[in-house]
Amino acid sequence: MKRLPSALAAACCLGSLGLAAEPEIRAVDKLYQETYRPQFHFTPMKNWTNDPNGLVYYAGEYHLFFQHNPTGINWGNMTWGHAVSPDLVHWKQLDHAIHPDRLGTIFSGSAVVDQGNTAGFQTGLEKPIVCIYTSAGKPFTQSIAYSLDRGRSWTKYAKNPVLGHVAGDNRDPKVIWHEPTKKWIMALFLDKNDYALFASGNLKEWKRLCDVPMPGSGECPDFFPLATDGDRRRIEWVFWGANGNYRLGAFDGAAFKPRTDPIRSLWGANDYAPQTYSDIPPEDGRRIQIAWMSGGKYPGMPFNQQMSFPRELTLRRTPEGPRLFMMPVREIERIRGKKHAWTGLELGPNENPLAALEGELWDVEAELAPGRASQVALAVRGEPIRYDAKSGTLHCLGRAAPLKPEGGAIKLRVLVDRTSIEIFAAAGRITMCSCFLPDPSDRSLALVAEGGKAQLRSLTVYELKSAWR
């Protein structure tokens, strides 16, 4: 969670959102069907939202807590909003979970299921869900709250804070359970590019383990293990910063020993403070992440800002060593509609195989061989996703990412909602998530080549349905 509106604007390009003025709210005839309401990305019913918090799975529900201003359309009065979903697609917003108190407003944090009742909060059959968050007072400290009824009501721990001030505006605790040492491990942002790890046996008393420098990153850490190519004998620990830079290394329960410098994973204009889920069942085993798509514009809407679509993280071997890959979670298939598919087409400058299609919501999978074309572009609602074959770069909404062809072709996966374009290239090694504000009347889809012929090896376009209906 950000410090103050002024720092937030500088770090996250929020100045253009008009933090000082409340925009006029446009009249709507039905909630969740407003002109610029995302149709399969989470947004609260109304008012400001930013970082995803407390991502945890329990008893058949995915919980999404989020930074929320319950009284205004702009940043401020930070409180934890709350929503639940059975499938990561269809969300139901619940009452606010954690409100400001004598220790300050409620900044970002995480949540866990205390399966072993280490904190001693359990009184019935339900396992406690425990939220760990920053109390943003003077100074910043870390506190906990718990629920004994599947997240429907919350009790703050009477002896908060559980971790006093350490440094700077220390904040954004991400807690995981480390089975080998039977300890809870907390990753905490300290100040500038500095983070630290702490350990606890009961979520109430914490001991500092080690410091973790993350050059070029700040705030909102995440910390988790991943198996390389699914091989549990080849575990890497991932230490993650708010801007998506991450380091790989080893963790023995006492110290994180990085073996890489920070590696960039996010290339889009609006992708910040991602967090991964806790307590995903072992039979599922996925590492699922949601980000805040920071800095979008939603003129006249009753809400402000949105989340990314949930994505699955995997670790795979590459010539440079193990690297993170991201793809939309498979549950997107639940809102797929009509399918359109092409294979083996030659694509020229004046040819558009998608000319007959129109709509707002798309899931596109494409494999393209640039051939003699200098550029190939998929244009969604007038906004081009352009591949420059000469420079080997992918461009969208003012951002560029390196993308080398494999076997002479590039692979793209693109999700299009009313106010966002999410691109996953090279099987997800390159992720570009950005907000846009198209003309509502532009529902076009186009695929064109420039400067020569390109080969369309395969193209699948799914029309998507609204998750709110």
pLDDT in tens, 405-460: 999 999 999 999 999 999 999 999 999 999 999 999 999 999 999 999 999 999 99
Contact 100/75 with Cβ under 8 angstroms? no
How confident is the model at residue 17, as a pLDDT?
A: 29
Return mean pLDDT, the chain: 93
At residue 7, does pLDDT exceed 50?
no
Contact 62/88 with Cβ under 8 angstroms? yes
Residue range 129-150, pLDDT digits in tens: 999 999 999 999 999 999 999 9
Instruction: State the catalytic residue, choosing from 29, 51, 87, 172.
Output: 51
Query: What distances in angstroms separate CA 327 from CA 38, 194, 412, 429, one per listed residue?
Result: 19, 29, 11, 9
Per-residue pLDDT, averaged over 221-227, amounts to 98
Contact 23/299 with Cβ under 8 angstroms? yes
- SS3 state of residue 299: coil
Indicate the pLDDT class of residue 15, thresholds 50, 70 and 90: very low
Per-residue pLDDT, averaged over 71-80, amounts to 97
Query: What distances in angstroms separate CA 345 from CA 351, 366, 369, one per listed residue?
Result: 10, 12, 10
Q: Are strands 454-464 and 362-369 parallel, antiparallel or unpaired?
A: antiparallel
Per-residue pLDDT, averaged over 61-79, amounts to 98
Q: Which CATH superfamily is domain 5-328 in?
A: Glycosyl hydrolase domain; family 43 (2.115.10.20)
Per-residue pLDDT, averaged over 214-228, amounts to 97
How confident is the model at residue 10, as a pLDDT?
A: 26
- Fold (topology level) of 331-464: Jelly Rolls (2.60.120)
Cα 110 to its chain centre, rounded Å, is: 14
Distant-in-sequence, close-in-space partners of 328: CB < 8 Å, separation ≥ 6:
309, 310, 311, 312, 363, 413, 415, 422, 424
How confident is the model at residue 27, as a pLDDT?
A: 41
Domain borders along the chain are: 5-328, 331-464
Q: Which of 196, 187, 198 is nearest to 225 (CA)?
A: 187
- Domain pair 5-328 / 331-464, same fold: no
Of all residues in the chain, what percent carry a pLDDT higher than 70? 94
Q: Look at 12-26, 152-166, 167-181, 348-362 and tell me which has the smallest mean pLDDT.
A: 12-26
pTM comes to: 0.93
Annotated catalytic, 51?
A: yes
CA 70, 75, 77, 79 dihedral sign is positive
Residue range 279-316, pLDDT digits in tens: 999 999 999 999 999 999 999 999 999 999 999 999 99
How confident is the model at residue 29, as a pLDDT?
A: 55
How confident is the model at residue 54, as a pLDDT?
A: 98
For 368, counting Cβ atoms within 10 Å of its Cβ (0-12 exposed, 13-18 middle, 19+ buried), the class is: buried
Of all residues in the chain, what percent carry a pLDDT higher than 90? 93
